[in-house]
Amino acid sequence: MSSAMLASAPSELDRHTETIPEEARADESEDTWACAGADESLESFMNAFAPSKTSKAWISTQHDGRKALLSKYYTELAAAEGEDESEGMGDIQSAWDALETKTAEALTATLKKQGNGRGKWMIFVPASEVDDVWARVVRALWDGKLGHTAKVSGSKGDSHVIYAYVDPFWEVAEVERVLAALREECGVEDAIKYKADGVTLLNLPRDNEYGIPPSLYAAARGSHIVTAQTNKRAPKEDTKQQWCKNGSNCKHLKAGRCSYLHSEEDREAVWRKPEPEVDADGMMVQKRGTRAAPSSKLVEAPKEKTSKKALGGFAALAGMDDDDAEAILQKKLRKAKKKAEKKAKEEALAAQESAASFEALKASIAAGGTNWGDEEEEEEAAKEV
């Protein structure tokens, strides 16, 4: 079956005319999912389960005719691949683990062999717009213009995600067809991504070592073109099977953590200690350095302190003895010290007065006095009016 046959599902919109009364849904109150009735009208479905007002985990509906076409597609694919369709999805993990080389191409081949091409376009919508977008998605789905299933998350946050399922993902023409319908029929303009369920089933991390991207496809804002995604991280090389080009000069080998191959000669050269030198009697020769002998000059006496030089210069300029000059300088130092102490006391007193004033202000506010915050709020309110 080709992708053209998958795209030819008839509209089922005309049959969705039934209104389901609220009391008929009583037995569904404990379910975490909400699903549309087989013939339920769009109005009845949205009144009962508007995403912005429904606390259930997921709200879902499907196109029965396209589901049947897809089932036939996978049956024919299994026959062509020579696989037993009844083996199901349980073998995906074991089939993946058995692969020697794991790449994006190998993942596609594995999922195709297992008959699992399920995937979805992911649409993130704010809560203020979700009801309108979801109603358009449901209408387009029932009209046969999307894939086989759609679901939307319930009202547990400021935003919702809508999954528009379309598979198999390797039929790129089918993926592009649904993208175009989301743009034209549902008003989805933002950039969106397509994720295959197989990546989720295998629990592959975003930055996996195989270079497999978390999303297989993407479409830029307003674009109808599907772009294949890539993972910036390439698969790891097997460095243990390569010889280290640095040989015995490898600094990582000296530290004991080089992952490349090294010869025994490299390792011996790194860890071999130099042979000791011995004299004619077999005694180890103690090598001496070439450090020069200590100088015979006497250590010069330290120079006089700068303060003494300054004192002598002051005395010479003033025309007096050193003792008199020292007395004058000491007097000046004492005066400067007293002045500094007086200034410090004045600053401390000012700080105490400021603290007392602040405490008085707090007491006034606590007693019901003026609140500056209230005045500012009143001014802002007046501006808004």
pLDDT of the residue at 374: 43
pLDDT tens by residue, the chain, 385 residues: 566 777 788 999 999 999 999 888 877 777 899 999 999 999 999 999 999 999 999 999 999 999 999 999 988 888 876 655 444 445 788 999 899 888 889 999 999 988 899 999 999 999 999 999 999 999 999 999 999 999 999 988 889 999 999 999 999 999 999 999 999 999 999 999 999 999 888 888 888 888 888 899 999 999 999 999 887 655 555 445 577 777 778 877 777 767 677 777 766 665 555 556 666 666 666 655 444 445 544 445 555 444 555 555 545 555 555 566 677 767 778 888 888 888 888 888 877 776 666 666 556 555 554 443 444 444 444 444 3
Burial 60-84 (b: 16+ CB within 10 A, else e): bbbbeebeebbeebbeebbeeeeee
pTM of the model: 0.60
pLDDT of the residue at 285: 64
Q: Note if the bond before 168 is cis, omega within 30 degrees.
A: yes
- Cβ atoms of 164 and 183 within 8 Å: the answer is no
Strands, E assignment, the chain: 33-35, 58-62, 119-126, 149-153, 159-165, 192-196, 217-219, 227-228
Cα(288)–Cα(311) distance, rounded to whole angstroms? 52
Strand pairing partners for 62? 149
CA 14-20-26 angle, 5° bins = 150
Cα(301)–Cα(296) distance, rounded to whole angstroms? 15
What is the CA 384 to chain-centroid distance, rounded? 40
Task: Specify the pairing of strand 58-62 against strand 33-35.
Answer: parallel
